[in-house]
Amino acid sequence: MPEETSHIPPAAAAFPPVSRREVLQATAGAVALAALPGGAADSAAAAEAGAAAGHSLRITVNGHAHELAIDPRQSILDVLRERLNLTGTKKGCNQGACGACTILLNGQRVNACLTLAAMHDGAEITTIEGVAQGEALHPLQAAFIEHDGFQCGYCTGGQIMSGLGCIAEGHAGSPAEIKAWMSGNICRCGAYPGIVAAIAQANKAVRS
């Protein structure tokens, strides 16, 4: 996976491999912290300050229990991505408009970016990483592949989590209903026809 792991030059072979994400995180964090008092530095600063602030958070994510010390500023999105390394939940707009960060929180679809993790002690969370059963895709995941429900893939995790919510809520009965009840998930590639078809197919599969 060349995009996930950096090439290790021979001289550095003694060091453990560094993922692209770790490099980006370290670089962005350093730059942002140097340049800004808040804003972009928030999540990094909050992650650093976590232990000091001392809010204790117990959450179950995809069936695994975690206990973490967090800063009250941290969103569930930041905790998932930066503390638990579950990066399938994407940070798109970080203001509740795009839906790329959609997760199931105690069974309901929500925008993880607009939740303060410290307000959800004891929560049960399902992320896109927890949808497949081992190597077996969930029918909705398989339907997204079958119907080309994505192009770049950035919104896809959020689309699938929101689609699961849409089906569970009983609002996937027609293409028009799916469109209205999936309106919180934006796809800038414009894969909407495939997304709607995938949810319609999975809805039938789940209900039959």
Partner 1 sequence: MIPFTLQKVLTEAEAIAAAGQGGRYIAGGTTLIDLMREEVERPEKLVDINALPIKHIRAEGGDLVIGALARMSEVAAHPETQRLQPLIAETLVEGASPQLRNVASIGGNLLQRCRCPFFRMLDAGCNKRAPGTGCSAIEGLNGGHAILGTSDQCAATHPSDLAVALIALDATMRVTGPGYERSFPVDELFRLPGTTPHLEHTLRPGELIAEIRVPGGPHARRARYLKVRDRSSYEFAVVSAAAALHVEGGIVRDARIACGGVGTRPWRMRAVERALIGKAPDRAAFEAAARQATEGVKPLSGNHYKVELLPRTIVRALEMAGEVA
DSSP state letter for 17: P
Residues 28, 45: Cα–Cα separation, whole Å = 12
Computed from CA positions of residues 101, 104, 110, 116, in that sequence, does the dihedral angle turn out positive or negative?
negative
**Segment interacting with partner 1 (CB under 8 A) among 18-26, 79-87, 123-131, 158-166:** 158-166
In the block, tokens 């602030």 appear at: 53
29, 92, 99, 149: which one binds partner 1 (CB under 8 A): 99
Distance of closest approach, residue 20 Cβ to partner 1, in angstroms: 26
26 C-beta neighbours (distance < 10 Å), count: 12
- Where are the strands (E) in the chain, listed by range? 55-61, 64-70, 102-105, 108-111, 124-126
Distance of closest approach, residue 141 Cβ to partner 1, in angstroms: 19
For 60, the token pair is: 């179950």
Decide whether 83 or 171 has the Cβ nearer to partner 1.
171
29, 50, 61, 115: which one binds partner 1 (CB under 8 A): 115
In the block, tokens 């789940």 appear at: 206
Q: At what angle do helices 42-53 and 20-35 cross, to 10 degrees?
A: 90
96, 139, 142, 206: which one binds partner 1 (CB under 8 A): 96
Q: Is 114 one of the binding residues for partner 1 (CB under 8 A)?
A: yes
In the block, tokens 């059963």 appear at: 133
**Segment interacting with partner 1 (CB under 8 A) among 16-24, 56-64, 70-78, 148-156:** 70-78
Can you name the residues that pair with 109 across neighbouring β-strands? 104
Q: Is 122 one of the binding residues for partner 1 (CB under 8 A)?
A: no
Please work out the total of residues on this chain that contact partner 1, with binding judged by CB under 8 A.
36
Residues 24, 161: Cα–Cα separation, whole Å = 26
Decide whether 72 or 88 has the Cβ nearer to partner 1.
72
Distance of closest approach, residue 122 Cβ to partner 1, in angstroms: 12
**Between 20 and 49, how does the x/- string for binding to partner 1 read (CB under 8 A)?**
------------------xx--x---x--x
Residues 26, 185: Cα–Cα separation, whole Å = 29
* Interface contacts to partner 1, rule CB under 8 A: 38-39, 42, 46, 49, 55, 71-73, 75, 94-96, 99, 102, 108-111, 114-116, 118-119, 162, 165-166, 169, 171, 179-185
